[in-house]
Amino acid sequence: MAVENSCRNLNIVKSVDVLYQEYRDTSKQQEIEQRRQRDGLPTAGSGVTAVPTLQLQLRNSMHSLSLWQNLEAVKDSGLLKTLETKETILQEAMFELVTSEASYYKSLELLETHFLRNPLLVNTLSQSDMHFLFSNIEDIMKASERFLMDLEHRIEESILISDVCDIVHFHAVNHFQVFISYVINQAYQEKNYRRILQENAIFRENISILEKQPKVKGLSFTSFLILPFQRITRLKLLVQNILKKVEENSESEKTAILAHQELERIVKECNEGVRKMSRTQELISIEKTLEFKSKSVPVISHSRWLLKKGEVQQMSGPKSTRTMRSRKLYHPIYLFLFNNLLLITKRSSSGEKYQVLDSCSRSMLRTEDLEDQGQMLACAFVLKLLENQEDREVSYMLKTESISQYMFALCTNGSMNVYRSDKLHSAQVQCIQSYSSQEPDELSVEMADVLHILECTDDGWMLGERLHDGERGWFPIRVVERIKSAEVRAQNLKECQRIQQAQEGAQGSRAASRGRRPAKSPQYTPTWTDL
């Protein structure tokens, strides 16, 4: 009973005084530091003391976010003397989900009070522009408030947290649909934010004033706008982390699986919605720039999307090093490679239009390496169009800075699988610096992401598959760090395999439980009241 009563004065959630952007970055940096320790590499604290395995100290904040085991009430209860290490680690994983939600809600509150309700912005924007910028953020806030209240009530029930994934599952099923609408609208949000900044000088000045105020801690306005997508993605990973730590075949595993499945569905719908919207906008934009001299090719299609675009050098004349010194043998052309079509174009003198020289179905493309003929032919290859727009077979000798990326993109018939190997022995890397994709075939990566390496180039690029969701794409080598420890690599694979197997064994549970109360606690009732 002492354990139960002492917990009611914790006020853990209310005491969190750090913005989610800081919390998230620090948490990810901690994952990197932990892996570096296991890899035997220098950590950020090298030369002084090693970073403790469970440390989550916020270096950029006046306040430190305490671990569950460091709470006075937990220390006084005597639980730490009786709990096994694995149970303490599980408590920390559940506690992090709760405290990170509190930090996230604090950032949302700041977005509302400092930006959304601020006269400096409200008085300078039209009603439509306010909607473009803030979308359904108020619905997002209500969902987070309900969720946070239930989480807070759970940790006040007992110092030893019983479960949080049942609460996650309930809210994901009943209230987290608002994330999908918000995230899908982000493409319009970003586009209109740039437009407003350009057209509205008063808004531009005021947003600069608000961003410089101490309470936002040097963070940009846009860093607050992208919070919902960051949170729903991170929440899935936090549940995944709990799932790795719960006992197999336990009730806790069942609720964690249900929560993870539901969150994965939401994240997939968010990604797919954003992908469809951006693809359509991109096709419309590209079609406006194309000029067909002869046979026109319809570009806009629901089944078409851009894979890669960019300028390459077409090489002509004798294929010998001696006669390739003349720059006249190089002619710039611009490729638009779609999932089912290739357009070979020439950029206009103004640089705004593209004259279509040739086209071909992607299934009718073939690539060939050139024999090594010296430096002049480095990064050169032959592209064959087996049947172009005139029903002829033609060949282009092309030179590019990144031959592997282009040859890989131009290959068809599921040739990505060519690079698959035994994952247990394949290379793994961890992202140490976030990277946003610049081309359609690139992969945006976040700090602490772990990826399999499928291909490497000599010019500083890697083709990788992210472990937790299977997404693939190219990214710069400079943003990742190789995982050297075979033990760490094997553990990463084992954890992913366990999650996959657990989910496969519970596929029928999600449909059956949708809209019902969590399996763990049939008597579970939310503590909030509908607003």
CATH number of the domain that residue 468 is part of: 2.30.30.40
Q: CATH number for the domain including 344?
A: 2.30.29.30
Residue 512 within a domain:
no
Question: Residue 349: what pLDDT?
Answer: 85
Report the distance separating Cα 461 and Cα 404, nearest Å.
9
Q: Say if strands 341-347 and 365-369 run parallel, antiparallel, or are unpaired.
A: unpaired
Residue 526 within a domain:
no
pLDDT digits (tens, 9 = 90+) for 140-159: 999 999 999 999 999 889 99
Looking at 22-31, 324-333, 421-430, which range is the least confident one?
A: 421-430
Same domain, 307 and 211: no
Question: Residue 529: what pLDDT?
Answer: 46
Same domain, 385 and 447: no
Q: How confident is the model at residue 423 (pLDDT cuts 50, 70, 90)?
A: very low
Mean pLDDT over the full length of the chain: 81
Among residues 345, 376, 410, the one where a domain terminates is 410
How many domains are contained in the chain? 3
Same domain, 260 and 314: no
Residue 170 within a domain:
yes
Q: What is the pLDDT averaged over residues 73-86? A: 90
What SS3 class is residue 319? coil
CA neighbours within 13 Å on the CB side: how many for 390? 8
Residue 19 within a domain:
yes
- Of 231 and 512, the one with more pLDDT: 231
Same domain, 262 and 299: no
Same domain, 216 and 135: yes
Residue 54 within a domain:
no
Q: What is the pLDDT averaged over residues 393-415? A: 74
Same domain, 479 and 336: no
Q: What is the pLDDT averaged over residues 1-6? A: 44
Same domain, 401 and 454: no
- Of 408 and 211, the one with more pLDDT: 211
- Structural domain for 438, as ranges: 428-498
| 277 pLDDT more than 50 | yes
Same domain, 77 and 224: yes
Output the DSSP codes for 383-449: EEESSBTTS--EEEEEE-S-HHHHHHHH--TTGGGGG---TTTS-EEEESS-B--SSTTB--B-TT-
Q: What is the pLDDT averaged over residues 469-473? A: 86
Cα dihedral angle (108, 110, 112, 116), rounded to 10 degrees? -130
pTM above 0.95, yes or no: no
| 327 pLDDT more than 80 | no
Q: CATH number for the domain including 115?
A: 1.20.900.10
Residue 420 within a domain:
no
Q: Which 3-state string (H, E, C) describes 199-250?
A: HCHHHHHHHHHHHCCHHHCCCCHHHHHCHHHHHHHHHHHHHHHHHHHCCCCC
Q: How confident is the model at residue 9 (pLDDT cuts 50, 70, 90)?
A: very low
Q: How confident is the model at residue 405 (pLDDT cuts 50, 70, 90)?
A: confident
pLDDT digits (tens, 9 = 90+) for 55-72: 333 333 333 456 898 888
Q: What is the pLDDT averaged over residues 452-471? A: 86
Q: What is the pLDDT averaged over residues 192-216? A: 94
Residue 42 within a domain:
no
Same domain, 116 and 171: yes
Same domain, 225 and 95: yes
Same domain, 399 and 433: no
Q: What is the pLDDT averaged over residues 352-370? A: 89
Q: What is the pLDDT averaged over residues 401-422? A: 57
Residue 515 within a domain:
no
Same domain, 140 and 79: yes
